[in-house]
Structure 1
């Protein structure tokens, strides 16, 4: 027996108010003298003992009656807060529903357990928020394969009989009252379907036909009674239906529209005052719930933490995640607590499922006094500011649409000309969209969505430096898109995204092309935190290992989606001017390393299922080049070397064993494919393995011992130069340490200084002939650019046997500290790298961008005032590098 002990006066006062102002509670108190005596003694019993020999229905009715009084007194006395009240009411509902299911099955099939029949709790029962006089809204499901039934009885017939008996046990009334009202109308197609549904049929419905409000309903769903495992299997199956990574903003609009229809349908309860509907009125309970659910639908597909079923919990998680304003969350939470509390007072009066304040003054006074206030006016004064704040916050979700663009060609042309467009060109393009020329715009729904967002788009396009060019890129994007409805609705719901979209279209053709191929990439930018960074390596790895991917193929797609979104967001950070290109370059590298980690682990596990593992051996992946240095661009490939530890003569221990060399070469072929082959979710990275021992002629994977021997005895100077940027990105700590030791030993070995310099000079000259600069602003290949800087650093590292660090900037710092280069060379490195990373997005041809605004964007990314300063910065950096290179060549020639 659970009791809540305390001083007596609060309970006695609550009992006095209950008997004086609530006819229902007065009646129950008269019929429950034991509870009254306990309360007068200062005890609140939340688990009253009911005669176990009574018939099930009678026992449940009396249990409910006793609970109604004890919970009410706990509530009125302040001993139970709203969470405790709703938890007690929900706990009883779960128990009663489960008891009814067990009883219905046992009566018809003696000795059978409640297998194959489950109740999914929706609404407030699902979130442990039942109110004082609430009905319950379960969906009753059965598994035809496991449901008990009689000979020659169809599973469907058996399930419906069980369901009818469950409802009868809970709803039937007698002198002891009733147990629970049961509403089964939330099941799929309730007007035509039986009251109990086969679980596979229900899964198929939610995966293919369900409406937007049904998605919202399942935010608060849980398996509550009967065969819990069956219920949990059902909920796991439909989870992707509820929590979609790519949000349909049309669904959010439908939820908003539902709120509007509720306001219209219950118009008499909208105005605040006597008769106000606490649940459905403007600023009421339903609007707090809808506010939370709309944001959960938007963000829950990506942020599982915000999927909290209970409304106040959801508000807290949304605020912690910065998805909603902290002040709004607190205000809505406080309002919800008060509104629900007063709703309970209204229901306590006569045990009726009502949500409206009484319209008659005397009755309103009664509710106020039950709550401990003087009169109805005091109650209204208490509620008024909370209701007003909820209404304001919820109304802010419904951004008013801008006036539609005119369909009259002359009026439209005048509007577009005033906005700085070439009116003939712009009118032709918009007319083509409106007539459904492109596949994505052929449906009436797509064109309706287009009309809703056109004013926003045209206004944003009007801010582009070259409006017609931005419009042309938008047109190309629409032409290549398979569907446009979702992106239009997204832009309508988040007008600020239109401005960012136009910046991408106007300044970053690389990102514009990606967006045309994968419009869902824009979903990742719905919140400003997308422009804050991509997180550290453990966070990225955890995200790529998460999700609902159930098999290897799904894992590949999941990683591709996350990588595509992260790389797109990193590029958008440069265009939006929110991040230093050096930080973006490091972010690109972390994303790539996380992808290598997760896809390698997944591929190793998949391969081991067929071939086992090689005992005392493991795969090691060595990153070289820009990946090794931890600074990629948007266009970088991955330079990888695959190694394995242990004896190359060993054999794997699986059902189809392979020798170690063959084992690892087949394995790394699959890893390379996992990293580079495009799927429906998009491409990942080009993978370059030509830096492996013996280059393209050698095996993809070699043993660590073979690698060490090759590097000591056969490697060319260029291979040792490449090794200076080596970094292990996969392997156990022991394997990484062994690989690092091999690399360090090779780099510290004796070499002829003259041979290194001569080889470097020859290699650089060959590269200049076969790979000339792309354009006039090629920070990589122009004389004195990044390639020359890399050659300079690597020659010094190998000839002086010092300053080794995969990160080129860190290596320069180490060489400067040793007095081998000028410290100013680090500034040249940073300027060249910033320019390279930025130009890969805005001018991949490495020519000066034609638009002045794009040039200004590049200047801002480099931290200089204008384009002439960009040109001067490049010239200065190239001169620094060229001077150092010439000095090194002359020194070695002397």
Structure 2
């Protein structure tokens, strides 16, 4: 053993003196081994623990062995640090590896007695449950210091029960398991401790259950997670817990790293910094190198605020280690190279001091020592001649951290209402009428504002000038402000949204532009402010079908089948947020009409598929699975149930407020019972699936409903069964259906359910539509139906005299074009089956031209007219306006449509007047 190095070690640490005195022989043995002072690998650390615990079954002996091993390794690490045989990064990594290995060993030792008493913990999913140990803080980042406690959270995948004689719930089993793990590591005996364990970072903190399920943790973070917890979860890492742990950690990432550039992190950091400063003053710990000004925590804050702002889009910034992420900040140009170098240098220096302080007496402290002897020891370890020289270097490095920190979080200058309202009022008065001015005045002097907490009022006042500036610069300030005021009032208690809009000027400008174009979008955001999260994260590209499916699947995956309200809430917000994304792309990126309709239809189809799957699961869980008409069991991947979309969803032409016209068919044995403990007939099973589906889709709650569903196009309409067998549907269509029902079938297509059944429906639809029909009869029936619609839904005579044209229902409007496309299928597909292939008007008209049923010019003219009228109806829907427009603006297009209507359907029709 090197005497000079030993002397430096004993000077550096009174604790090392105690270890040497208590374990002289063991220490001498350790230092007689070659390579003992070289860096330790993870495998070597696990081997040390394995060797120390080999053959030990007694709890007291296990605890003593672990504590002695910890003392020996601490002596080694203090030796290395005092003699500069290691560096901060290597030392903190080895300490973290030891903590990981100790946790795994304690977890394994604690399990067997619990298993013997209660049996194995089994989830309701039939899987063996594991205790998932999540490391937070420095252990999570693998940056543990010499005498650090370890911050842990315990979790498990799914609720359930143990399978032993003394059966208990999985959660209680995991709580007992976690309690024993803590005791094995944290309990102070004559031999000391292994690690102090801190569990206060778990959801709800002290007083809450020690272990939490995956679903409960996800719900907590989504509904109750606070901003400071986002900072804490940056460093979260699974120490042990297998695959389920990886899934759990992946679930937490959207809570930590928002999809959008998240400027609220600045505000959260300012608040946390203020809390820490007040605590420093209260405890009089200005010389704390971690919490004091320019300390370790400020370096971490600088890095973490950038991680929270940009980590959702720049995945490299999700790294847990401070120095790694600091380098990435330089690479991305978010911090200049000088700042990165200064912060890295200060951080390593401060962490070295931290180790020197903690080595003295193995205490969890970051305060500079006061006692002369301890100061002398620390100065000798760090290589400084005297205390003043040390403080000069320390203060120089802390000053650089303080500068970078203050530069980052400097408060933006804002004119509060009292200070700048007169100027704002003057600028507003130039663009607002009296009614809007009164609206603003009532807002600022109303009861709602008086009831706001002082902090919310402060943030609202800070936000107001930014809003006014954006409104004044918009195309229509008056309309924008009128539409945005209700939204501001709805979110003024959720001040995080105001902060986000203050920090992100671009988001506020986009919001103002959306308001000028669409009151509907403003109303959606006002009624459901949670959609602002999605709005602020949008990239204004239309969502892709696969992304929609993956997103919804992940959201529903962790919700138990009997948590119907949670399932419905996910479906509602999925639909609303994605429709809002389409609207934003429509307005701000000017996406093409057909692509917008495709995207809206995709959202509906994905929602319908998920709701059908859930409905089927719910009924099957209670009653078991039915048999299909061929005697096969209809499990979830073969359900013999399908949803048929009619009308706009069938024609892939959904708008923003469109209902879904749906028909349900099945291919089940209606007489055979299901195979569950509460069996019902296949007929009743199919009915219950249909009813549950409609309930999931249409139930109105505070979050609204998913979609309005209209099922009146089913066989026999409202008098008919909600769900029809494929055979009964075929018989009805062939023997009883009116021609108008075949006309509706033109725009029908399967949108959800079992694929083989969907194919059978498609073939049946084709067979029905391609039947030979008398053209004169088809023409007469189509004309009769069209006249009824005009009488009931078109403009009145007085409106027509006033120059009003109903874009959809009047002559030359959208419905005329739709009816001509449907007429083409019914009248001509007997001889031209390809006409029955598609359900959307544009492709039907294109095929009519390809088969020479229509001339190319006529088909093109109808398609162009149809797209022009649909685009305008689309714009009117966004603006919450009726379909009644000025007839003179549409004369030319109507004339084209009406001439073709005369030629194809009604030679006696009047031309456009």
Q: What range describes the TM-score normalised by the shorter chain of this pair?
A: 0.7 to 0.9
Contact 1:213/1:254 (8 A) holds in 2: yes
Query: What's the CA shift for 1:403?
Result: 1.6
Contact 2:615/2:692 (8 A) holds in 1: yes
Contact 2:902/2:908 (8 A) holds in 1: no
Q: 2:870 aligns with which of 833, 845, 849?
A: 833
Contact 1:439/1:483 (8 A) holds in 2: no
Q: What are the residue-to-residue correspondences of 1:367-766 with 2, within 5 Å?
A: 391=404, 400-406=412-418, 413-418=425-430, 420-422=431-433, 425-438=435-448, 442-477=452-487, 483=493, 485-529=495-539, 531-533=541-543, 535-536=545-546, 538-543=549-554, 545-546=556-557, 548=559, 551-616=563-628, 618-766=640-788
CA deviation vs aligned residue, 1:64-113 (integer Å, no higher than 9, x gap): 35545877999999999999865542232244457679999999x9x989
Q: Indicate the residue corresponding to 1:863 in structure 2.
A: none
Q: In 2, Cα distance between the equivalents of 1:816 and 1:397?
A: 65
Query: What's the CA shift for 1:22?
Result: 11
Structure 1 residues 65, 625: CA separation in 2 closer, same or farther (over 3 Å shift)? same
Query: What's the CA shift for 1:788?
Result: 1.5
Q: 1:64 aligns with which of 67, 70, 77?
A: 70
Q: 1:127 aligns with which of 119, 140, 150?
A: 140
Query: What's the CA shift for 1:772?
Result: 0.9
Q: Indicate the residue corresponding to 1:882 in structure 2.
A: 898
Structure 1 residues 432, 17: CA separation in 2 closer, same or farther (over 3 Å shift)? farther
Structure 1 residues 127, 171: CA separation in 2 closer, same or farther (over 3 Å shift)? farther
Q: Indicate the residue corresponding to 1:789 in structure 2.
A: 817
Q: In 2, Cα distance between the equivalents of 1:885 and 1:74?
A: 93
CA deviation vs aligned residue, 1:27-54 (integer Å, no higher than 9, x gap): 9999567567533998955444765589
Q: 1:280 aligns with which of 277, 293, 297?
A: 297
Query: What's the CA shift for 1:637?
Result: 0.8
Q: In 2, Cα distance between the equivalents of 1:134 and 1:578?
A: 59
Query: What's the CA shift for 1:651?
Result: 3.9
Contact 2:743/2:823 (8 A) holds in 1: yes
Structure 1 residues 466, 55: CA separation in 2 closer, same or farther (over 3 Å shift)? same
CA deviation vs aligned residue, 1:511-548 (integer Å, no higher than 9, x gap): 22222221222221112325553543533542553454
Contact 2:611/2:696 (8 A) holds in 1: yes
Q: In 2, Cα distance between the equivalents of 1:187 and 1:690?
A: 51
SS at match of 1:280: helix
Q: Output the TM-score relative to the length of structure 2.
A: 0.72
Query: What's the CA shift for 1:607?
Result: 1.6
SS at match of 2:772: coil
Q: In 1, Cα distance between the equivalents of 2:383 and 2:435?
A: 67
Query: What's the CA shift for 1:648?
Result: 3.9
SS at match of 1:834: helix
Report whether the alignment pairs 1:253 with 2:267.
Answer: yes
Structure 1 residues 57, 645: CA separation in 2 closer, same or farther (over 3 Å shift)? closer
CA deviation vs aligned residue, 1:546-580 (integer Å, no higher than 9, x gap): 45466122101110111111112222222323422
Higher deviation after alignment, 675-684 or 86-95: 86-95
Query: What's the CA shift for 1:730?
Result: 1.7
Q: In 2, Cα distance between the equivalents of 1:541 and 1:787?
A: 34
CA deviation vs aligned residue, 1:780-807 (integer Å, no higher than 9, x gap): 3343332111111111122221323013
Q: What are the residue-to-residue correspondences of 1:68-79 with 2, within 5 Å?
A: none
Q: In 2, Cα distance between the equivalents of 1:119 and 1:435?
A: 53
Report whether the alignment pairs 1:803 with 2:817.
Answer: no
Contact 1:136/1:181 (8 A) holds in 2: yes
Contact 1:139/1:184 (8 A) holds in 2: yes
Q: Output the TM-score relative to the length of structure 1.
A: 0.73
Q: What are the residue-to-residue correspondences of 1:35-114 with 2, within 5 Å?
A: 37-39=33-35, 45-46=44-45, 47-48=47-48, 52=53, 59-64=65-70, 67=73, 88-96=94-102
Q: In 2, Cα distance between the equivalents of 1:806 and 1:365?
A: 85
Q: Indicate the residue corresponding to 1:217 in structure 2.
A: 232
Q: In 1, Cα distance between the equivalents of 2:544 and 2:885?
A: 29
Contact 2:663/2:713 (8 A) holds in 1: yes
Query: What's the CA shift for 1:667?
Result: 2.8
SS at match of 2:835: coil
Q: In 1, Cα distance between the equivalents of 2:417 and 2:333?
A: 37
Q: In 2, Cα distance between the equivalents of 1:710 and 1:847?
A: 38
Structure 1 residues 401, 120: CA separation in 2 closer, same or farther (over 3 Å shift)? farther
Q: In 1, Cα distance between the equivalents of 2:66 and 2:509?
A: 60
Query: What's the CA shift for 1:683?
Result: 1.5
CA deviation vs aligned residue, 1:655-693 (integer Å, no higher than 9, x gap): 444444443234312212221221232112221212211
Structure 1 residues 131, 442: CA separation in 2 closer, same or farther (over 3 Å shift)? closer
CA deviation vs aligned residue, 1:757-796 (integer Å, no higher than 9, x gap): 1211222222112111599575433433321111111111
Contact 2:542/2:596 (8 A) holds in 1: no
Structure 1 residues 782, 471: CA separation in 2 closer, same or farther (over 3 Å shift)? same
Structure 2 residue ranges without an equivalent (≥5)? 122-129, 167-172, 370-374, 630-639
Structure 1 residues 20, 781: CA separation in 2 closer, same or farther (over 3 Å shift)? farther
Higher deviation after alignment, 73-82 or 638-647: 73-82
CA deviation vs aligned residue, 1:114-147 (integer Å, no higher than 9, x gap): 999999765335525233425124469999x99x
SS at match of 1:673: helix
Higher deviation after alignment, 783-792 or 396-405: 396-405
Contact 1:118/1:223 (8 A) holds in 2: no
CA deviation vs aligned residue, 1:214-234 (integer Å, no higher than 9, x gap): 564355457869xx89x999x
Structure 1 residues 798, 694: CA separation in 2 closer, same or farther (over 3 Å shift)? same
Q: In 2, Cα distance between the equivalents of 1:325 and 1:724?
A: 57
Q: In 1, Cα distance between the equivalents of 2:718 and 2:340?
A: 64
